[in-house]
Amino acid sequence: MPSEAELTVVREQVTAEELAELGIELNRDFPGSTIDEFRRYPVLSEGGWYIVVKHQPSLTSVSREPWRPLGPVSLTSEGLVV
């Protein structure tokens, strides 16, 4: 059991089809880059939580969609109808 808490973020791979849906053409927009250089993951900014797709070598955002208000935190009351 680790003695210190560790924060990790899963950075999911993005498919060529997903990049195409976002209007990204590798040869035109990121010459010399490969599909393996793009990842999707949550970020927290001054505007709240977002799910972003970024080109990892340059950290250029390709997509930025609003996420849940508390990000990865799920309340036990979530989905409860009162």
Short-list 67, 34, 29, CA closest to 48: 67
Residues 6+ apart with CB under 8 A from 41: 9, 10, 11, 12, 51, 52, 54
Short-list 23, 14, 17, 27, CA closest to 55: 14
Name the helix (H) or strand (E) containing 29: helix 26-29
Domain ranges across the chain: 13-66
Chain segment 54-74, per-residue pLDDT in tens? 999 999 999 999 999 888 888
> Which pTM does this prediction carry?
0.81
Chain segment 38-56, per-residue pLDDT in tens? 999 999 999 999 999 999 9
Q: Is 26 left (phi over 0), alpha (psi -120 to 50) or beta?
A: alpha
